[in-house]
Every structure is written in structure tokens, then in C-alpha cells.
Amino acid sequence: MNLSITNKTNNKKISAFKGGEIYVIIVCIIHCLMLFFKWNYFLNPVLILFYILGIISFVLIITYFGEHFKQIKWVPIVRLILLALAVYMVYLNTQNLLSIVNPHIYDDILIKWDIAIFGKDPTQYFDPIRNPLLTEIMQLTYVSFYFLPMIHGVILYRDNKNWELNELYNQIIFGFLLSYLLYFIMPAIGPRFTLFDFATLDSEMPGILFTDAARAFVNVGGGVPPGTINPAEIVSRDCMPSGHTMLTLINMLLVYKYKTKFKWFFYLVGGCLILSTLYLRYHYGIDVIAGIIFAIISIYIEPKFRNILIKSKLINNSIL
């Protein structure tokens, strides 16, 4: 599989990889190192290794076909969508590794930090205004996390802002993968399991029409299918930092930078989304603070890291 292309300006061979594709491969290599370091602690380490190699192979295929058929208009968009699937596969593997690489749960420390900063559990500040309509709005905006970057990308694509779309793609994927690596530092499951009764959330915070379905969608995505007996034992340990806060803020900052159309839509929905992480009891206050800090760090260091890869000829600097 030839993963180099010819630069039309100087007829030299350059890497076919985009930044996001190399980012995924780098994190997969880090996962392999974690796996080898704790090899004897895993029940099926060979299966996990093949899963990681499968992700890398998937990215190589995406890169090969994406680059060799990029003249077809819809191919670059399909390339982005498939890479988003690869990123989700990395997320799933992150959860596979977490319970062995760092088996501790740090919720008790995060709760103490919240009390030290806010005086109490910050989710309680929403109790006086909690009602079914607001819960409905908050739950739907929380789920919109999965779609806001895609909507932003579609707008940039329709406006022929290909350079901006390329940077958005690299920034978002870098941010996602950075958040996954940060989960290994302080794994946590969140206040809906530690401070509240997960089984009674539907009755304590009812919505109107779509809240239950949206909440179930989030639960399944977090590793808790309906009917799970002990959800706290199997739920994803992905609270610290708040990935919803981190990636939403990155997207909002890029909306501002690019002067993207409908910017107030992104500001309004994104702002509600960040508040919803507390309102809906998914995150501690310190998770949100960490998400804001790491969003700023991520958006600052990604271009610098990308430039290092360009100079090393591991990726090319062409637009999608």
C-alpha cells in the first residue's frame, strides 16, 4: 500500500497522511505500550492488541483510498466520517485499558475539590430552576455534542472554506484524543453515580418528549445499556476532564476564529451544552474547569504539534 503522493509543484513524494490520521495512529501506539506494560494483567491481551492493530489498519485504508480518490467531490467528506468512526474505536479501547492501567476511581477527590471551590456540589445550584422543560432543553443540547462539530464542518464545506475545514478536522480530532489520554490520569464516573441514585434520575429529572430517549442514548454510549444491574461498575470512566466541555469550547473558539455563519447558534447551543454537564449531573464542577483549561491548551498546542509532523514529513499540509 503506497501511502505517499506526488507534490505537483516540485514532483516530490510526500506523505499521504493528514494530521488527524497520524494523531489516531500515535494514540494507538501509546495504547500498545500501555498494553505491553500491563500485559499479564489483562484477561485477553492478544484480543486487545488485534483490536488496536485493526484501528491502525482501518486508518491506513482510509488514508490510501481517501488520497487516491480525492478528486471525487464526496470522498474527502467520507474520509472525515470514517476517521470519526476510528476515533470512537479509540475511545472504546481507552475504556478497555483504563480499568487495568489505572484501576483507581478518583470521584472522592473530585467531590472534595468541588466543595473547596464551590462550597457544595455545584449541581445543586440548579435545583431551584429545575423543571421538565429546562431538563428537556438541557438533555437535547447535551446530545448535540456529537453533531455540533459536524454541522460546523458542513457549513465550512458549503462555503468552500477548505483550509478552515482542514484545521477544524485536525483540531477536533486532536482534542478528542487528548481528552482520552487525560482520562488515564484521574478516572471518574461522575455525580450521577456517586452523589445521586442513578436508578431514579428519570423520575427525579423528567423531561417532556425526548429526554428519556436522549438519556438512554447517552447511557448506551457510556457503556450502560438498559437493564444493567450494577451500572457504576461498568460505566465509562470518562469524567475528568469533561470532554463535552473541552470539545464544545474548541468548536466555539474556532467558530469565532473563522467567523462561521450562524455563530450565535453555536454560542447558544454550546453554552447550554456546557451548563448541561452540571445540570444533568454528568460532571463535577472541577471536570468542567479542567475541560475549559485543556480546551485552551489543546487549541494552542495542536498547530505546533502539527508543524513538527509536517517538518518531519509524517503528514502533508494540503487541504482536504
Contact 241, 291 (CB under 8 A): yes
Query: Of the ranges 24-28, 43-47, 309-313, which one carries the lowest mean pLDDT score?
Result: 309-313
- Whether the pLDDT of residue 256 is over 50: the answer is yes
Q: Give the pLDDT of residue 59.
A: 94
Tell me what the mean pLDDT of segment 267-287 comes to. Answer: 96
- How many CB atoms are closer than 10 A to CB 96? 18
Q: Give the pLDDT of residue 19.
A: 85
- Angstrom distance (rounded) from CA 178 to CA 155: 25
Number of H helices, E strands in the chain: 14, 2
Give how far Cα 286 sits from Cα of 90, 117, 261, Å. 25, 8, 32
Q: Give the pLDDT of residue 86.
A: 95
pLDDT in tens, 157-193: 889 888 898 899 999 999 999 999 999 999 999 999 9
- Provide long-range contacts, Cβ within 8 A and 24+ apart, for 54-61: 54/89, 55/24, 55/28, 55/86, 55/89, 55/90, 55/93, 56/24, 56/25, 56/28, 58/82, 58/85, 58/86, 58/89, 59/21, 59/24, 59/25, 59/28, 59/83, 59/86, 60/1, 60/3
Confidence grade of residue 10 (pLDDT, cut at 50, 70, 90):
very low
**What is the average pLDDT score of the chain?**
90
* C-alpha Rg value of the chain to the nearest Å: 20
- pLDDT > 90: what percent of the chain? 72
| Closest to 31 measured CA to CA, from 236, 241, 180 | 180
Instruction: Specify the residue for cell string 447550554.
Output: 272
Alpha carbon 4 to its chain's center: 29
Domain boundaries along the sequence of the chain: 1-101, 104-314
Q: Give the pLDDT of residue 70.
A: 76
| Closest to 178 measured CA to CA, from 66, 312, 23 | 23
Q: Give the pLDDT of residue 3.
A: 62
Confidence grade of residue 14 (pLDDT, cut at 50, 70, 90):
low
DSSP 147: T
| Closest to 136 measured CA to CA, from 206, 199, 197, 196 | 206
- Whether the pLDDT of residue 196 is over 90: the answer is yes
Biggest alpha carbon–alpha carbon distance for the chain = 66
User: Considering the entire predicted model, what is its pTM?
Assistant: 0.92
- Alpha helices (runs of H) in 69-161, residue ranges in sequence order: 75-101, 107-118, 132-143, 148-158
Q: Which of 59-68, 108-117, 200-209 has the highest mean pLDDT?
A: 108-117
Q: Give the pLDDT of residue 12.
A: 53
Q: Give the pLDDT of residue 11.
A: 46
